Structure 1
């Protein structure tokens, strides 16, 4: 579905060698450090030249990295190389240095092999830790969208004057959301900078990365790759020419997530002619940076009691569903607006899907129950919090992972109840080898631990999510001809619920 890997104009930080998660200077630093360690064990005839060459490569690479910025993953490489450097070069440099001082030259003494071997092994262990860490926590390289359009993105902040902010005690506080739009755009000239991943500015990206890491109990530096990544979209790119209108896809992230957590998916949809509006929900998203510089951090947390948590989750889901409805209203205003806004008249708010991951999936379901403007729903592994009535009247696609011993036993019955009562066809696709975060960008930059991101692979996971949801959206919003079950079935175990099966 996607084409290509990173391009030079995406920024130095993503110019990594395919399969290594290392840039060229980083790879040369690793190579030079390994060669410094290996020089001790080479035949005497080639040892001096090999040591000098390895030292030069290592020193130059380290200098280049010092200018570009050293990732934390390369620190053990630099440490291992720095320890090996004097031992590799001293036998070469000692004789001429003695001659310069007027002393008689004599062969340099070598450390016995049985003493050198543990030190060499320790240095190699340090050096190897760098590529392993870079592989486990890479700078994400986003797939290039496969559709006919380039992709633009912009971020807007909207305040609902009719809704009080229920997370604060200020009676005058009104609900404010930050929304990121991805839309079909005109192609930009080569070399145009790509939009940052986690925020509009480096400071915002760092704030969000730290909040996401803290939410899962990890130190912030482990998410440095995501904080420095660039996407495939161009910020504020000109909207695609012509008068084509773009079906709208609303997106709500998971609890403690971020509006950007499904960027690869959003860019793929926008490349195929959809307008995606992803919502940051203040006090629920990990960290929301507002236009005035304030940062609103997540205030939702488990109480430890299952019944209490269920009530809280239902309340939070209702707030999110209202946020989605409000964003749709603002997009309707944009649809009817004059020519001042570049997107004026382009959102097709007569064709709308509500989507979300985890709690965001629950919010999409609830938004569809209360808002007849929504025509289709996608639930990405989301427990359906909140009331089960009224019955849904829109087609639904639910992507789920295989059930595990840790899965809430209420999850599948609750989801099946919602889908079976739907008066429109609905589909549940169980994806083998998936985990909860498989349905986000996480496989692109988190360690490939099966319980975290599944075992589909860094690029196969976003490809699957994009392929299945795009087939569903084309069928439901664009009424594209074809057999939707046949299109979904190759990706997992498909359960089809006919209209009104149980209700």
Structure 2
């Protein structure tokens, strides 16, 4: 029941109440349930009116919510109300039938009331821990449009399959500057083009991390801040491009808040699904490709595997830049033709995607800048990075792979241009994606910056770097970036 969600209907009732992460209808169900429990302890004259009103609000709100799509977080609320209901209405029914009203003594009723209140309280706690994500409003001058494209590279065989005729295909989501849409325009679904795709991806991501799918059932219900297939803004000139590769098992939409913020400031962001690596990739023909990458349990073997997967991702990134360049030149009819400045291109990624970004920049000199979002470098360390690089990292702890910082530092020190490592206090590995918006706010999982501050800090540091490197905006990055964390600057060794 609670897994069926007609998107439009739910969208009309999911204006999230700040802090509680509950919709108005859910709040009404909660208040009705609480009132039923409290009614037992009110003065006799007030009990009938409060009980009747609370029961009516509870039942009607629950029915409407059930039709619109009920979240699992409301089940304990309804269970608590169901236990309280007969005890609340039994005295009223006995009085109407002419029999004397019987009420349990307070010392018998108190444990039942406490148990019902405990069940009811579980609902808002669960809604707070696993909310429907509410995406931050982008701060730039542009509204944001988004769309999905699929490209096949005829020159590259698909290495994950045995079919010699199978060619490498990638699915790419674009976020781009758009004019403001009319009020009431429906925003794009999170995680997929359709609700079915969003649920497919959500279930796959839950399996990837070992969570029951129902716990994150609110995620595919979310709407982002962009509009699907919106027109391209007509006044912004040509836009620099930023390519993005997700983490291992990650998906193209995992950094949507970050991508929308960049697009609102005049960038075109192209985020990739890597088939057989991303948790689930839904192709244009409806087929779903699930991940086939998995740890072997042997550290040396895993490093070899990760280097191979990173190489495939790096080739995907170069291929997508080629497609974007072709699209800009009018090779295919497209609203973005003539609007993409592929001579100003950055390659970015989270986790393994960050490693892929480093490799892509080593191999493809069309990329002008690199951003690694807490990614452990995999694969060859040569040639040296010759593009400005920003590595955003969490603080090193006892749980951090001891090889991570030495490998990253080695790569940045060996570069032939100035590079930066920005360690963000309070960050965890999932701080650098959308995770803080919908996962429990446990510091070891999503960091301690909070649901609002996490995406803001990561996007602001990214924009400061991109504006300086791709747009040549004045300002000293060594003076700007410390506003977001602890900065280490690596100057090239001119003696080499």
Q: Is the 8 A contact 2:393 2:424 kept in 1?
A: yes
Which structure 2 residues correspond to residues 18-37 of structure 1 after superposition, within 5 A?
18-37=18-37
1:68 matches 2:68: yes
1:385 is paired with a residue of what secondary structure? Answer: coil
Task: Provide the rounded CA distance (Å) in 1 between the counterparts of 2:302 and 2:91.
Answer: 67
Counterpart position of 1:56: 56
Call closer, same or farther: CA 1:75–1:430 in 2, change over 3 Å: same
Counterpart position of 1:200: 193
Q: Is the 8 A contact 1:95 1:107 kept in 2?
A: yes
Task: Provide the rounded CA distance (Å) in 2 between the counterparts of 1:502 and 1:188.
Answer: 55
1:351 matches 2:321: no
**TM-score between both structures, scaled by the size of structure 1:** 0.95
Shift, 1:13, TM fit: 5.5
Call closer, same or farther: CA 1:481–1:14 in 2, change over 3 Å: farther
Which structure 2 residues correspond to residues 168-183 of structure 1 after superposition, within 5 A?
168-183=161-176
1:78 matches 2:78: yes
Q: Is the 8 A contact 1:248 1:348 kept in 2?
A: yes
Q: Is the 8 A contact 2:296 2:302 kept in 1?
A: yes
Q: Is the 8 A contact 2:13 2:24 kept in 1?
A: no
Once the two structures are superposed, residues 461-495 of structure 1 have per-residue CA deviations (whole angstroms, 9 ceiling, x without a partner) of 00000000000000000000012122210211100
Shift, 1:501, TM fit: 6.7
Call closer, same or farther: CA 1:192–1:68 in 2, change over 3 Å: same
Task: Provide the rounded CA distance (Å) in 1 between the counterparts of 2:14 and 2:331.
Answer: 39
Task: Provide the rounded CA distance (Å) in 2 between the counterparts of 1:13 and 1:398.
Answer: 40
Q: Is the 8 A contact 1:282 1:297 kept in 2?
A: yes
Task: Provide the rounded CA distance (Å) in 1 between the counterparts of 2:36 and 2:319.
Answer: 61
2:375 is paired with a residue of what secondary structure? Answer: coil
Once the two structures are superposed, residues 440-459 of structure 1 have per-residue CA deviations (whole angstroms, 9 ceiling, x without a partner) of 00000000111110110001
Task: Provide the rounded CA distance (Å) in 1 between the counterparts of 2:357 and 2:247.
Answer: 11
Q: Is the 8 A contact 2:310 2:359 kept in 1?
A: yes
1:388 matches 2:378: no
Task: Provide the rounded CA distance (Å) in 2 between the counterparts of 1:461 and 1:14.
Answer: 23
Call closer, same or farther: CA 1:13–1:139 in 2, change over 3 Å: farther
Q: Is the 8 A contact 1:439 1:461 kept in 2?
A: yes
Task: Provide the rounded CA distance (Å) in 2 between the counterparts of 1:135 and 1:317.
Answer: 36
Counterpart position of 2:5: none
Counterpart position of 1:499: 492
Shift, 1:216, TM fit: 0.5
Which structure 2 residues correspond to residues 168-317 of structure 1 after superposition, within 5 A?
168-242=161-235, 244-317=237-310
Q: Is the 8 A contact 2:277 2:291 kept in 1?
A: yes
Q: Is the 8 A contact 2:143 2:264 kept in 1?
A: yes
Counterpart position of 2:399: 406
Q: Is the 8 A contact 1:37 1:120 kept in 2?
A: yes
Q: Is the 8 A contact 1:9 1:194 kept in 2?
A: no
Task: Provide the rounded CA distance (Å) in 2 between the counterparts of 1:448 and 1:33.
Answer: 26
Counterpart position of 1:160: 153
Once the two structures are superposed, residues 178-211 of structure 1 have per-residue CA deviations (whole angstroms, 9 ceiling, x without a partner) of 0000000111111111000000111110110001
Call closer, same or farther: CA 1:339–1:169 in 2, change over 3 Å: closer
Call closer, same or farther: CA 1:286–1:154 in 2, change over 3 Å: same
1:485 matches 2:457: no
1:495 is paired with a residue of what secondary structure? Answer: strand
Alignment partner of 2:364 out of 360, 368, 371: 371
Shift, 1:502, TM fit: 8.2
Task: Provide the rounded CA distance (Å) in 1 between the counterparts of 2:102 and 2:147.
Answer: 64
2:358 is paired with a residue of what secondary structure? Answer: helix
Alignment partner of 1:117 out of 110, 126, 135: 110
Q: Is the 8 A contact 2:245 2:349 kept in 1?
A: yes
Task: Provide the rounded CA distance (Å) in 1 between the counterparts of 2:141 and 2:83.
Answer: 52
Task: Provide the rounded CA distance (Å) in 1 between the counterparts of 2:73 and 2:13.
Answer: 13
Structure 2 residue runs of 5 or longer lacking an equivalent are 1-7
Counterpart position of 1:454: 447
Alignment partner of 1:427 out of 420, 423, 434: 420
Task: Provide the rounded CA distance (Å) in 2 between the counterparts of 1:228 and 1:457.
Answer: 21
Q: Is the 8 A contact 1:13 1:228 kept in 2?
A: no
Task: Provide the rounded CA distance (Å) in 2 between the counterparts of 1:185 and 1:502.
Answer: 47
Task: Provide the rounded CA distance (Å) in 2 between the counterparts of 1:65 and 1:294.
Answer: 32
Shift, 1:9, TM fit: 11
1:309 is paired with a residue of what secondary structure? Answer: helix
Which structure 2 residues correspond to residues 141-160 of structure 1 after superposition, within 5 A?
141-160=134-153
How many corresponding residue pairs? Answer: 489
Shift, 1:45, TM fit: 2.0
Once the two structures are superposed, residues 65-117 of structure 1 have per-residue CA deviations (whole angstroms, 9 ceiling, x without a partner) of 12211111101111111221121122122221x2xxxxxx2321101212211
Task: Provide the rounded CA distance (Å) in 1 between the counterparts of 2:445 and 2:277.
Answer: 21
Counterpart position of 2:40: 40
Structure 1 residue runs of 5 or longer lacking an equivalent are 1-7, 99-104
Task: Provide the rounded CA distance (Å) in 2 between the counterparts of 1:481 and 1:253.
Answer: 30
Q: Is the 8 A contact 1:396 1:426 kept in 2?
A: yes
Task: Provide the rounded CA distance (Å) in 1 between the counterparts of 2:23 and 2:155.
Answer: 50
Shift, 1:243, TM fit: 5.9
**TM-score between both structures, scaled by the size of structure 2:** 0.97
Q: Is the 8 A contact 1:420 1:502 kept in 2?
A: no
Call closer, same or farther: CA 1:502–1:48 in 2, change over 3 Å: farther
1:11 is paired with a residue of what secondary structure? Answer: helix
Runs of 4+ in structure 1 over 6 Å off? none
Task: Provide the rounded CA distance (Å) in 2 between the counterparts of 1:366 and 1:339.
Answer: 28
Once the two structures are superposed, residues 270-323 of structure 1 have per-residue CA deviations (whole angstroms, 9 ceiling, x without a partner) of 000000000000010010001111111110010111110001000000000000
Alignment partner of 1:107 out of 97, 100, 107: 100
